[in-house]
């Protein structure tokens, strides 16, 4: 490496440390987002009953006149 070895290996080391840190932080953030979504969709009464009625979208046909 003609005397540039320490610089090259330091760059490789820095790259791999930063990539590992980014992966770990991304996984932690993903878990936090999934947990916040789970908290948002829990039933409000806290019973955890799956039969709790929720409003859903209704699809009603609309007649449009082409005058």
Q: Render pLDDT for 36-55 as a digit per residue (tens, 0 to 9).
A: 999 888 766 655 555 555 66
Q: Render pLDDT for 4-43 as a digit per residue (tens, 0 to 9).
A: 999 999 999 999 999 999 999 999 999 999 999 998 887 6
Which spans in 1-67 are helix H? 5-40
pTM: 0.54
In the chain, where are the structural domains located?
Answer: 1-43
CB 9 within 8 Å of CB 1? no
Which residues neighbour 8 within 8 Å (Cβ) at sequence distance 6 or greater?
A: 1
Residue 36: CB atoms within 10 A of its CB come to 10
């Amino acid at each position: 490496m003609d005397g540039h070895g320490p610089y090259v290996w330091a760059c490789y080391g820095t790259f791999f440390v930063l990539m590992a840190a980014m992966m770990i932080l991304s996984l932690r953030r993903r878990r936090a987002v999934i947990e916040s979504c789970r908290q948002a969709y829990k039933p409000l009464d806290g019973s955890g009953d799956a039969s709790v009625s929720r409003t859903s979208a209704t699809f009603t046909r609309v007649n449009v006149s082409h005058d």
